[in-house]
């Protein structure tokens, strides 16, 4: 039983205030990359570190939103969403590796790690990755088709609940082991790094960073708007019906398979695109992105922010990752304990997450 709390929050705040808050948040996100372009001596200059951190968190926020669509609204707890994010990242990473050209350490047409492995030609699945358009197709198609195949098998067999969660976890773990192997052809445990250019522009230049950041903001806004429209349509109500009473829905004449597949694939594709924006900003992609822990963390962002609220998961991803970047500097060894404690505390005391807290405050005033 989860209502759209975001709607209630807006009810408590009043639409004018909600619009003001949203506008302020958007304005500051647009201002950040512009401030990065100011000369370093300027008082308002934003460092590359800060911008990269903010861009990374925005990518995570998009993943949290995609997770909320399948978990918060449809009741499918995925513990493997990091896989779709990483696959999108690898798609972009392949293109960025090809863009290095002969500027690598070995001055070869092949990516450095292939030279190191003494490979003479590109593997077939690297063909065409020098084309930006083809690579972007891979970013969408690979997570999308994997989700389609996996989802079709799982939903057709009516696998639900904890069994579904365990299978998604196993899927990302298996993929991680596969990508760790050097022979797989994705750089083994080092993954891809040392990127030089994207579409010919230097990847670390302030202007490139600013554009990538703005694209991330754009994707976030689009995903939020799309998610908002979707969850308020009849389609969205049927998703909550799948979550709350799937057998009733079937006896109403709906086949849940198509509904689950649609939202599951959409969510995977959103994660893939977020991963593709993440890689050029952060400058590295490796198989640790597929580790089970990463995917569990995504679920924690959503739980902390508030399931089934769209806005909550964005807040959850933001708050936890800000806390993480501070914690891992100040008390690196305690971060996982803190994360575990946070998850337990939220489950016990804030079942509706930060959004539940906000709406309660909003309703009482």
Residues of the shown chain interacting with other proteins in the complex, contacts defined by CB under 8 A:
1-3, 230, 233-235, 237-238, 240-241, 244-245, 247-255, 258-259, 262
Give 177 or 252: the residue with its C-beta nearer to other proteins: 252
The Cβ-side half-sphere exposure at 197, using a 13 Å CA radius, reads 12
Give 49 or 251: the residue with its C-beta nearer to other proteins: 251
How near is the Cβ of 249 to other proteins at its closest, in Å?
Answer: 8
Report how far residue 107's alpha carbon sits from residue 230's, in angstroms, rounded to the nearest whole number: 49
Give 42 or 232: the residue with its C-beta nearer to other proteins: 232
The Cβ-side half-sphere exposure at 305, using a 13 Å CA radius, reads 32
How near is the Cβ of 224 to other proteins at its closest, in Å?
Answer: 18
Cβ neighbour number for residue 128 with a 10 Å cutoff: 16
- DSSP letter for each residue of 180-244: HSGGGSS-GGG-EE---EETTEETTSHHHHHHHHHHHHHHHHHHHHHHHHHHTSHHHHHHHHHHH
Residue 97 burial class via C-beta count within 10 angstroms: exposed 0-12, middle 13-18, buried 19 and up = buried
How near is the Cβ of 206 to other proteins at its closest, in Å?
Answer: 41
How near is the Cβ of 262 to other proteins at its closest, in Å?
Answer: 5
User: In DSSP terms, which residues pair with 202 in a beta bridge?
Assistant: 197
Give 60 or 259: the residue with its C-beta nearer to other proteins: 259
Answer whether 99's CB lies under 8 Å from 196's CB.
yes
Give 54 or 241: the residue with its C-beta nearer to other proteins: 241
Give 247 or 364: the residue with its C-beta nearer to other proteins: 247
Length of the chain: 365
Report how far residue 264's alpha carbon sits from residue 66's, in angstroms, rounded to the nearest whole number: 9
How near is the Cβ of 242 to other proteins at its closest, in Å?
Answer: 10
How near is the Cβ of 237 to other proteins at its closest, in Å?
Answer: 6
Report how far residue 356's alpha carbon sits from residue 3's, in angstroms, rounded to the nearest whole number: 10
Answer whether 196's CB lies under 8 Å from 107's CB.
no
How near is the Cβ of 310 to other proteins at its closest, in Å?
Answer: 15
Give 262 or 338: the residue with its C-beta nearer to other proteins: 262
């Amino acid at each position: 039983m989860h209502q759209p709390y975001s709607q209630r929050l807006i009810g408590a705040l009043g639409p004018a205030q909600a619009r003001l808050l949203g506008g302020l948040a958007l304005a500051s996100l647009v201002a950040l990359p512009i401030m990065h372009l100011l000369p370093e001596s300027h008082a308002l200059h934003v460092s590359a570190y800060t911008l990269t951190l903010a861009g990374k968190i925005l990518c995570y926020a998009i993943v949290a939103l995609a997770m909320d669509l399948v978990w918060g609204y449809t009741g499918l707890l995925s513990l493997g969403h990091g896989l779709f994010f990483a696959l999108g990242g690898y798609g972009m990473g392949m293109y960025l590796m090809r863009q290095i050209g002969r500027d690598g350490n070995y001055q070869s047409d092949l990516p450095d790690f292939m030279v190191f492995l003494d490979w003479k030609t590109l593997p077939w699945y690297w063909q065409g990755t020098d084309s930006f358009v083809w690579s972007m197709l891979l970013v969408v198609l690979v997570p999308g088709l994997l989700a389609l195949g996996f989802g079709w098998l799982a939903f057709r067999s009516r696998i639900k609940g904890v069994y579904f969660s365990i299978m998604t976890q196993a899927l990302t773990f298996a993929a991680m082991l596969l990508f760790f192997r050097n022979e797989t052809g994705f750089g083994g445990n080092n993954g891809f790094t040392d990127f030089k250019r994207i579409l010919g522009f230097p990847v670390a230049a302030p202007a490139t960073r600013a554009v990538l950041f703005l694209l991330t903001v754009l994707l976030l806004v689009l995903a939020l708007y799309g998610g908002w429209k979707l969850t308020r349509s009849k389609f969205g109500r049927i998703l909550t019906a799948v979550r709350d009473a799937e057998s009733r829905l079937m006896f109403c004449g709906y086949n849940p398979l198509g509904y689950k597949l649609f939202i599951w694939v959409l969510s995977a594709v959103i994660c893939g695109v977020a991963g593709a924006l993440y890689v050029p900003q952060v400058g590295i992609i490796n198989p640790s992105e597929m580790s089970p822990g990463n995917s569990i963390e995504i679920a924690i962002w959503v739980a902390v922010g508030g399931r089934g609220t769209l806005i909550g998961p964005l807040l959850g991803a933001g708050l936890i990752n800000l806390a993480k970047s501070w914690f891992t500097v100040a008390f690196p060894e305690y971060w996982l304990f803190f994360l575990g404690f946070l998850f337990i505390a939220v489950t016990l005391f804030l079942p509706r997450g930060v959004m539940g807290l906000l709406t309660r405050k909003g309703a009482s005033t």
